[in-house]
């Protein structure tokens, strides 16, 4: 496997090789810290596996990354060092990206996901030597986004406008999403020292009073979504009132207004702030809402067609409660008390409001002067962070995790973030060489998927042909050629010496 030919220069250009050398020198570490770090990161990109399996893959590289050291437990020692220096690592990566190509932090995308562990019980509370409780165990039962019952950890991530991760933070699995925003912002973004004003963009339920006030106090702004189903009666009526909408075409319309609301900051103080409320209707969202609720809508239709003979299940009774004009559900059994009278008991006004809101979406922003369509366009970039989580859970196989301690879990996720950044930088080079066509209606794209990058690096091999002589295998496959071309790298079919391979690596420029 010769993926290191491409990955080594990127690792170096991110400043990680020099940082690991400095940490090793200052800590008097005796093992090969930088190359164990490379082993963990490259393994996550090319062949995601357990830490032991990753250590055993050392000899699969055309030149072993770690030389003359067979003590596999150093991968865990490396995780300890990564955790202890986690902010320094994020800081070095950020400064290298800023210097190499610049960071556009005018928009800061933020979201939270979680990762599960194949263990039965959550971690006990953490205690000090005197037996005093000092914190929660990190692996806790919580609301798993993959509907699993195992303990989880919560991971928060910030992303820049170009879709490159900035930082991560870790929380116990039972931490609510909105409780992560202020700590992550304070512990990572503010300390990285970005210049200029930023707009924080997050999904509903995350951007509450504390982070809104924190952002405003720092001179920054926000754009967030807000559920219409959980909004006030006034908000819903205004949304459904067709007066004031700008109709773009048959598929899209929007309107906005300035509102005043009261929120609590992190200290519990009530503050009055102004927001622009933007609502819009999209035919695409309408079709999605109808598809998501098709079973329920079909149930209502069948009930209306034949109310006296229609059988109502326990689950259907639960879903109907919000539309009933009075309590007709047996609290002990969950069954409908009188199914013959069920149709008459449904509050048609509630049901009509529920269906009439399909296709509508609501945003709130601090940017009172921003054009509503610009607010909408900026918010839609949040889907980029969902793609990061997809890549981590899919391509990089971040979970299930088998490391146990808080330190190793945090370090493992940071290793995954570094791997993701390196993949994104490869994709960026590809896009620079293969720009998006004018007819491409997508707001953003990475051009080539992370999975294709991974598979190309797996295929690109090297065959030793004798002393100081190598033959590249599969260097002419489609995706390998595309990636090499993105870095202006040409590899004629011939035998290569160690010296010639080193020259190839020197030609690779990340930025």
Band of pLDDT at residue 345, cut at 50, 70 and 90: low
Say which range, 5-9, 200-204, 332-336, has the weakest mean pLDDT.
332-336
Cα–Cα distance between 41 and 35 in angstroms, integer? 10
Q: What is the chain's length?
A: 511
Do 503 and 495 touch, CB atoms closer than 8 A? Answer: no
Taking the model in full, what pTM does it have?
0.86
Which residues on adjacent β-strands are paired with residue 224? 202, 364
Cα–Cα distance between 96 and 421 in angstroms, integer? 12
Give mean pLDDT, residues 441-460: 83
Cα–Cα distance between 309 and 213 in angstroms, integer? 55
Percent of the chain having pLDDT more than 90? 56
Cα–Cα distance between 247 and 479 in angstroms, integer? 43
Q: How many angstroms from the chain centroid is the CA of residue 31?
A: 33
Do 172 and 125 touch, CB atoms closer than 8 A? Answer: no
Cα–Cα distance between 203 and 365 in angstroms, integer? 12
Cα distances from 488 to residues 32, 106, 169, 474, 484, in angstroms, run: 31, 31, 36, 18, 6
Residue 44, both tokens: 């996550």
Cα–Cα distance between 427 and 421 in angstroms, integer? 10
Cα–Cα distance between 160 and 385 in angstroms, integer? 9
3-state secondary structure of 452: helix
- Show the beta-strand stretches assigned E in 175-313: 199-202, 221-225, 246-249, 252-264, 270-282
Q: What is the pLDDT of residue 337?
A: 47
Q: State residue 172 phi and psi, 5-degree precision.
A: -55, 150
3-state secondary structure of 439: coil
Give mean pLDDT, residues 182-211: 92
* 132 contacts: CB under 8 Å, gap ≥ 6: none
Tell me: the pLDDT tens digits for 21-69? 999 999 989 999 999 999 999 999 999 999 989 988 998 888 889 987 7
Q: How many angstroms from the chain centroid is the CA of residue 252?
A: 28
Q: What is the pLDDT of residue 326?
A: 44
Band of pLDDT at residue 349, cut at 50, 70 and 90: low
Do 194 and 103 touch, CB atoms closer than 8 A? Answer: yes
Cα–Cα distance between 404 and 425 in angstroms, integer? 30
CB atoms closer than 10 angstroms to residue 310: 16
Cα–Cα distance between 416 and 83 in angstroms, integer? 13
Top pLDDT among 71 and 55 is at: 55
Top pLDDT among 1 and 185 is at: 185
Q: What is the pLDDT of residue 417?
A: 96
Tell me: the pLDDT tens digits for 301-335? 666 666 555 555 556 555 655 554 444 555 555 55
Tell me: the pLDDT tens digits for 79-135? 999 999 999 999 999 999 999 999 999 999 999 999 988 887 888 877 777 667 777
Q: Is the pLDDT of residue 439 over 80?
A: no
Q: What is the pLDDT of residue 157?
A: 96
Band of pLDDT at residue 482, cut at 50, 70 and 90: very high
Cα torsion 487, 488, 493, 497 to 10°: value is -70
Q: How many angstroms from the chain centroid is the CA of residue 102?
A: 21
Q: State residue 288 phi and psi, 5-degree precision.
A: -65, -45
Q: How many angstroms from the chain centroid is the CA of residue 177?
A: 13
Tell me: the pLDDT tens digits for 150-171? 888 999 999 999 889 999 999 9
Tell me: the pLDDT tens digits for 237-293? 999 999 999 999 999 999 999 999 999 999 999 999 999 999 999 999 889 888 877
Q: What is the pLDDT of residue 143?
A: 83
Cis peptide before 400 (omega within 30 of 0): yes
430: left (phi over 0), alpha (psi -120 to 50) or beta: alpha
For the chain, how many helices (H) and strands (E)? 21, 14
Average model confidence (pLDDT) across the chain: 87
Do 474 and 459 touch, CB atoms closer than 8 A? Answer: yes
CB atoms closer than 10 angstroms to residue 116: 21
Do 110 and 206 touch, CB atoms closer than 8 A? Answer: yes
Tracing tokens 């490159």 back to the chain, one arrives at 164
**Three-state SS sequence of 277-289:** EEEEEEHHHHHHH
Cα–Cα distance between 412 and 250 in angstroms, integer? 48
Cα–Cα distance between 281 and 240 in angstroms, integer? 10
Residue 296, both tokens: 């329920």
């Amino acid at each position: 496997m010769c993926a290191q030919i491409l990955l080594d220069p990127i690792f170096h250009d991110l400043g990680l090789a020099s940082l690991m050398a400095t940490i090793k020198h200052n800590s008097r570490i005796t093992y090969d810290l930088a190359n164990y770090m490379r082993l963990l990161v490259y393994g996550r990109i090319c062949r995601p596996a357990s830490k032991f399996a990753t250590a055993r893959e050392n000899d699969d590289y055309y030149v072993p990354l770690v030389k003359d050291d067979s003590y596999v437990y150093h991968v865990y020692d490396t995780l300890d060092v990564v955790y202890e220096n986690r902010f320094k690592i994020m800081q070095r990566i950020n400064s290298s990206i800023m210097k190499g190509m610049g960071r556009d932090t005018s928009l800061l995308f933020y979201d939270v996901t979680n990762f599960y562990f194949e263990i039965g019980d959550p971690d006990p509370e953490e205690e000090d030597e005197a037996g005093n409780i000092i914190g929660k165990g990190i692996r806790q039962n919580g609301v798993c986004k993959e509907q699993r019952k195992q303990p989880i950890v919560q991971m928060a991530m910030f992303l820049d406008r170009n879709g490159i991760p900035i930082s991560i933070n870790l929380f116990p699995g039972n931490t609510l999403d909105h409780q992560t925003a202020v700590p992550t912002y304070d512990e990572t973004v503010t300390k990285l020292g970005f210049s200029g004003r930023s707009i924080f963009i997050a999904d509903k339920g995350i951007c509450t009073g504390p982070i809104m006030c924190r952002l405003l106090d720092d001179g920054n702004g926000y754009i967030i979504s807000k559920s219409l189903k959980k909004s006030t009666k006034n908000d819903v009526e205004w949304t459904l009132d067709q007066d004031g909408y700008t109709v773009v075409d048959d598929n899209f319309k929007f309107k906005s207004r300035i509102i005043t609301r009261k929120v609590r900051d992190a200290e519990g103080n009530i503050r009055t702030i102004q927001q622009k409320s933007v609502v819009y209707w999209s035919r695409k969202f309408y079709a999605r809402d109808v598809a998501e609720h098709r079973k329920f809508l079909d149930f209502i239709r069948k009930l209306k067609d034949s109310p006296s003979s229609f059988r109502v299940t326990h689950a259907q009774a639960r879903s109907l409660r919000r539309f009933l004009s009075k309590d007709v559900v047996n609290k002990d059994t969950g069954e409908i008390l009188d199914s013959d009278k069920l149709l008459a008991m449904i509050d048609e006004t509630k049901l009509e409001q529920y269906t009439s809101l399909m296709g509508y979406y609501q945003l709130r922003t601090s940017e009172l002067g921003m054009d509503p369509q610009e607010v909408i366009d900026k918010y839609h970039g949040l889907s980029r962070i969902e793609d990061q989580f997809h890549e981590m859970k899919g391509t990089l196989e971040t979970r299930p995790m088998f490391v146990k301690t808080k330190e190793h879990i945090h370090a493992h996720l940071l290793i995954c973030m570094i791997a993701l950044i390196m993949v994104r930088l490869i994709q960026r080079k590809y896009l620079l060489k293969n720009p998006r066509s004018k007819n491409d209606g997508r707001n953003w794209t990475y051009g080539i998927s992370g999975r294709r990058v991974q598979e190309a690096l797996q295929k690109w091999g090297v065959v030793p042909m004798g002393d100081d002589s190598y033959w590249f295998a599969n260097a002419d496959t489609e995706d390998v050629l595309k990636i090499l071309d993105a870095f202006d790298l040409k590899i004629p079919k011939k035998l290569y010496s160690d010296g010639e391979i080193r020259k190839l690596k020197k030609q690779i420029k990340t930025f």
